[in-house]
Amino acid sequence: MLTIYHFPQDEAALREQLNRTVSFDSDAQRTVDEILHRVRTEGDAAVLDYTERFQGVRLSDMRVPEAEIEAAYAEADPEFISILEEAFSNITAFHRNEAEQSFFYERPGGVILGQRVTPMERALLYVPGGKAAYPSSVLMNAAPAQVAGVDEIYMSTPCDAEGKVNPHILAAAKVAGVTQVYRLGGAQAVAAFAFGTATIPKVDIVTGPGNKYVALAKKQVFGHVAIDSIAGPSEVVVIADAGAEPEFIVMDMFAQAEHDPDASAVLITPSAELAAAVQEAAARLAGTMLRGEVITRALTDNGAIVVTSSMQEACKMSDMIAPEHLELHVDNPWEILPDLRHAGAIFMGPWSCETVGDYFAGPNHTLPTNGTARFFSPLSVRDFVKHTSIIAWSKSELARAGEKIARFADHEGLQAHAEAVRTRLKHL
């Protein structure tokens, strides 16, 4: 199930095994292109048609009534509500530290420069609800949007063939203060909020994970709206030393692999003995898991155990992958942290399992995948704000620097740019 590779000897085979892509198959591309075109041109009628086709229900009202949200909250297990509330408090507290302030400063000559930070007006939080429902995604999307000060926060999640939305998702929406919930899923939901329809508002940003059709739709509507990122299958890399606990590692690899057959889980270690122990434990325990078939397929197709010559080489190998989640099962994780540059989230030590980050710790679990952690960041307050430059130039400073500016424009061959300054200089 898990093959052991030796780096760098087996580098070519390892790269082939761990090859990740952000491309989409042509059938999915055609399907999404058709959905986007119809929703953009036909509006609500197309949304309702696709909802009936893919979700199995002809909706009379696309929005979930607030009474239904309240009922889901009231009927939920009180202990679960308490857990949701504590988790949301942790997530909100973390994101408050990301809040940015506008700034202004004065230069000689009466010039004032600055940057104004303003929240976006409307945001769509997409929450998966097909094969599995993720109330955690509600909390993780809502907290940074609220901290940023977004005026109108909408949520969309698929309903079942009876038009019902998963009650755990609705309970989480209540905890997170999200009242405008739509029972729409897939590319048609993304398109509806990206373009707007007669009954669905056009938003400024779409965030949240989904299947390949949702991911491709987000990619296609980028430019009409902002997006957080294009999410791919989940992935984890574990760096471990000889003293690590094999079963901790195996369960953390399983935790990613159970998401999807396309998920990836990789152990990197300088210890051949640990590598063998993890390989044996994974083979022994996979059959005991409820999603054992999914785990086995994911680890067979996209998993690996990599034996390196040193911990420094292990860090280099991890940076090559740039994983969504990186766990450090080592004696002193802070010691090797400076050697690691590329990861969506780093979990320090054996007690900081990735599951803690998924649900409870506070940092966002919406993370860059497919190696995009080299240049993308986790979902944050910064995704829900925009920055506007402020320039207040004075008459005296234009008199001092105006001709320099005009000559700069001359060198770019832009006459009107230069004359816009020189015309003002004539009035001084």
CATH of the domain at 256: 3.40.50.1980
Find out whether 126 is annotated in a ligand binding site. yes
DSSP, collapsed to helix, strand or coil, labels residue 304 as strand
User: Given 227, 256, 273, which residue is the final one in a domain?
Assistant: 227
Does residue 293 sit in the same domain as residue 353? Answer: yes
**Is residue 325 flagged as an active site residue?**
yes
Does residue 212 sit in the same domain as residue 239? Answer: no
Find out whether 188 is annotated in a ligand binding site. yes
Does residue 8 have a cis peptide bond before it, meaning omega lies within 30 degrees of 0? Answer: yes
| Digit-coded pLDDT (tens) for 353-366 | 999 999 999 999 99
How far is it, in rounded angstroms, from Cα 259 to Cα 319? 23
Distances (CA, A) of 328 to 23, 73, 237, 240, 315: 30, 38, 9, 6, 10
Does residue 47 sit in the same domain as residue 194? Answer: yes
Number of domains in the chain: 3
| Digit-coded pLDDT (tens) for 82-116 | 999 999 999 999 999 999 999 999 999 999 999 99
Does residue 108 sit in the same domain as residue 172? Answer: yes
What's residue 22's pLDDT? 63
Give a yes or no: residue 84 inside a domain. yes
Domain span holding position 51 = 43-227
Distances (CA, A) of 113 to 104, 107, 119, 355: 6, 8, 20, 44
Helical H segments across 239-341, by residue range: 246-257, 272-285, 292-302, 311-321, 333-336
Give a yes or no: residue 385 inside a domain. no
How far is it, in rounded angstroms, from Cα 181 to Cα 183? 7
Find out whether 259 is annotated in a ligand binding site. yes
What's residue 24's pLDDT? 77
Pairing outcome for strands 180-182 and 152-156: parallel
Instruction: Dump strand ranges (E) for 129-168.
Output: 152-156
Q: Which of 235, 324, 327, 354 is catalytic?
A: 324
Give a yes or no: residue 38 inside a domain. no
The neighbour count for residue 272, using CB atoms within 10 Å, is 13
The neighbour count for residue 174, using CB atoms within 10 Å, is 21
Does residue 172 sit in the same domain as residue 268? Answer: no
Q: Mean pLDDT, to the nearest integer, of 221-230?
A: 94
SS3 content of the chain, % helix, strand, coil (to 5): 50, 15, 35
Does residue 171 sit in the same domain as residue 264? Answer: no
* 236 burial via Cβ count (<10 Å: 0-12, 13-18, 19+): buried
| Digit-coded pLDDT (tens) for 354-406 | 999 999 999 999 999 999 999 999 999 999 999 999 999 999 999 999 999 99
Pairing outcome for strands 103-107 and 111-119: antiparallel
Confidence band of 260 (pLDDT split at 50, 70, 90): confident
User: Given 205, 227, 249, which residue is the final one in a domain?
Assistant: 227
| Digit-coded pLDDT (tens) for 296-316 | 999 999 999 999 999 999 999
Give a yes or no: residue 404 inside a domain. yes
**Is residue 37 flagged as an active site residue?**
no
Share of the chain above pLDDT 70, in %: 99
Q: Which of 95, 224, 325, 365 is catalytic?
A: 325
Find out whether 415 is annotated in a ligand binding site. no
| Digit-coded pLDDT (tens) for 227-239 | 998 888 889 999 9
